[in-house]
Structure 1
Amino acid sequence: MKLAVVGGGSTYTPELIDGFARLRDTLPLAELVLIDPAADRLELVGGLARRIFARQGHPGRISWTSDLDAGVDGADAVLLQLRVGGQAARNEDETWPLDCGCVGQETTGAGGLAKALRTVPVVLDIAERVRRRNPGAWIVDFTNPVGIVTRALLTAGHRAVGLCNVAIGFQRKFARHLGVAPEAVALEHVGLNHLTWERSVTVGGRNVLPELLAEHGEAIAADLHMPRELLDRLGVVPSYYLRYFYQHDEVVRELLGKPSRAAEVAEMERQLLALYGDPALDEKPELLGKRGGAFYSEAAVALTSSLLRDTGDVQVVNTLNNGTLPFLPDDAVIEVPASVDARGAHPLPVRPLEPLFAGLVAGVTAYEHLALEAALKGGRGRVFDALLAHPLIGQVAYADRLTDDLVAHNREHLAWA
């Protein structure tokens, strides 16, 4: 079994490698290829990857290349984890929207749209090249904004599934609170990527969410940076990304008072790459746990195994709605539990979504449709439409100014600008 990782020079990659090594019985890899245009980073990350495999006794072969076509040749699955423009572009996504009092964030709001516009054309080019080399290969997308990028891939007819680590993160945290094994916890996770709610938490066939909130609500709320009273009122656990919607102005004030997350991550990456260059290092360093992407490797291994080994296991994924949420179009991409096999992801039935949640899901889905139109076709008008439709913006003056700012800060990445 051969797997290729596009964006393999990422400082995330050793987390992924560690998971491949530990979980080799679940996903028995014979070959792993790391692909990245940054040859210097590839040398550091690739060297550490080989040492991690050797330490854990994994027999698989690891190689790396800057040649995409050669790297994906013969791959059974291709994992996408790229960042167009790097941390420098992310830093801009997180800063210029703040100038008009709008949240600056890399996956939602104006910054999220900027990232989508930079990313979608690049990902579609990669996917088309994968299809030409390996028509049967699966594409697993971890590249943000996952919902929009996955929708672009599926609209273009690619064999793709989107992946996020939010659900597996909740599963692991809830399991610790409950004192049970993670695999004993099943989530009723529903919504869109980075816009989801845990509506039930099932252990042994019983929904334990009410007692989980009663006994551990303070800790859960603190982890989400949300008021405990909100969780009690909703009766669910929102994704922490919903803080940008539920507490928008408070978040903006916080962001204005501290360095951007991109600046923090850039410094962390500098330290990580220095560590990766140490030939004595043969495990993922502790610092990597602060980089983000917790449990990403476990989620990636589980999903890829289900696709390639035709298991039918239930995974939380991003895939086509196809009537699952009846108030959304079939071609919307939703994030829900799905049975995953060699034919792809098949969403499990979902209980009717409460209006409090459905309204926001419908609004963001409309934005994502317009964002994809802007990414595929370009044009200032399409960018403006997407920003005007976004629930976090929605005012003409803001949408107008943010459109000009977005284009100015991303001109080198926009073929039409």
Structure 2
Amino acid sequence: MGILAKRSKDKNIIDTVFTMVKKASDAKVKYGEDNVIDVTIGALCDENGKFTIFDSVSEVYKNLDKMDIAPYAESFIGNNDYLREIKSWVLGKHEEKFSVGAIATPGGSGSVSSTLKNILDPEETLLIPNIGWGPYKIMAKEHDLKIETYELFNEKDEFNIESFRKKSSEIMKSQGKVLAIINDPCHNPTGYSMSGSEWESIVEVMNDLSEDGNYILLNDIAYIDYAVKGYEESRKYMERFTDLSPKNLVVFSFSCSKTLTKYGLRVGGSVFISNEEKNVDEYMRANEFTCRGIWSNVPKGGMKLFSTIQSDEILRDKLTKERDSYVKLLEKRSKIFLEEAYEAGLEVYPYKEGFFITLKIEDKKISESLEKLNRENIYPIQVAHGIRIAICGSPSKKLEGLAKKIKKIIG
């Protein structure tokens, strides 16, 4: 029989990201840092290529009392002050419009994983975008789920609501429930952000299909605090959820890793809303069990760090100001790359804001294109239906001329 459970026998991760990161690292050693263009790094870096650590955050963390860091959290669902502050930060002025619940999770990843676990039964189907964050599929496998994809973009380079509706309808008919993931704003890996009217169409689909069952939307908002339009405008779309059918639920997956640039603290959360209090109560009860049964406790220091900053207007403004300077830097970097891409005729998926830009590459040409780029010491990341350029981790000077160079290499 072997030592593994049947569901674990074919588990095998081939991580294209870390494989390419190693190639880039080896090339830097061999050819020198200045002779390598490394656009693999999916974390925020400054103009010297150094990992960004917000001073406004580090100052608060180093001054936390040791008893705010070392002991267990107050509860396995998280510290009360943390839960209060993530609900307030995620929802803003919209918080009072819904029934709301929240749990602390180990990073945004913990939020996504616990949502899959508590909404779908094994062998049921999860709906995800055809271009998206790779670990969605890994998490689905971990929870014995099937995957169906909707086309992210239509021919006009807008959100493909027709594909989203069609796939949602098929799943609702087959299992009487839909769980769909939308990563917005600042989509990973394309940098797309949806308009208010696109969100209105999403709510319409959810409500139409709720006549036949529950529709649960997982809104992955890991990068929301890097939206160009700022805090209030980036959350304006949440107003649309006031029209949700009472049979529906929205789960926001929030990540302190990006918001605070404290990836290693592994702190995030699920904030969930409904226009039916019973839905929130049921989901909270199930997640309380998951928190205890899977990770037991989220790092107290990370939660205290977030709640200390968010509850203090001066500290919060300091962080916002520092983070906004990087939002402007991302704007500058994206402009450099996109203007040159347009001039060179290099096709990219529609980018609005965020950490990444993705090249439109035919699936059959992706591997060949990567090999050609690697030979010229350019190291991007392969994603579904394209090649990702991480402008978040690349100094502006490394992006100058890059789009034209890529076009010349891959044709």
More contact order relative to length (CA 8 Å, sep ≥ 6): 2
User: Would you say same fold, with TM above 0.5?
Assistant: no
Query: TM-score, normalising length from structure 1?
Result: 0.33
